[in-house]
Amino acid sequence: MDVSKEWLDAHVEPGGVAGRFRNDAAGMADLATWCRGHGVELAVMEASGGCERLAFLLLWELGLSCALVNARSVRRFAEAMGSLEKTDRIDAAMIARYAQAKRVQPTSPPGAAQQRLQAAGKEKMVIRIALARKLLVILNAKARDARKEFANAT
């Protein structure tokens, strides 16, 4: 499946059945039901940018095995298959074909401790970004003051 901020585009191989679901808890529940209805045993998505994390975890919790694959590998596979177009629907189909060709296996979901570490790491990064922004404001103000002093001195 192709995961974006708003949508989950799914494609079943073999068969080529496609579906689109909102990227929220209700949409993921609908997706899990749809997958079961089509005999899907493994939901495969690219590990890219973090949009996939919630879908990955919730689908596991809903009883659907999931796997994360390298986005660059899928892109190269698509290019090798002659698919140069890039839409969410086409990406979903390529991910499904890649998973089938490579016989992708489930990726274990992170444990509670690992999730806490990831969350703590995100919090630290947010704090670092906020501090860096404050530092930039201070440095810009000092640079402005120094330019004024220099202009007044000359």
Instruction: Kindly report the pTM of this predicted structure.
Output: 0.67
pLDDT at residue 77 in the model: 94
Give whichever of 87-91, 117-121, 124-128 has the largest mean pLDDT.
Answer: 87-91
Is residue 147 domain-shared with residue 96, that is, in the same domain?
no
Number of domains in the chain: 2
* Segment 69-86 mean pLDDT: 90
Query: 126 is in which domain, residue-wise?
Result: 110-154
* Segment 55-59 mean pLDDT: 87
Distance CA 1, CA 88 (A): 9
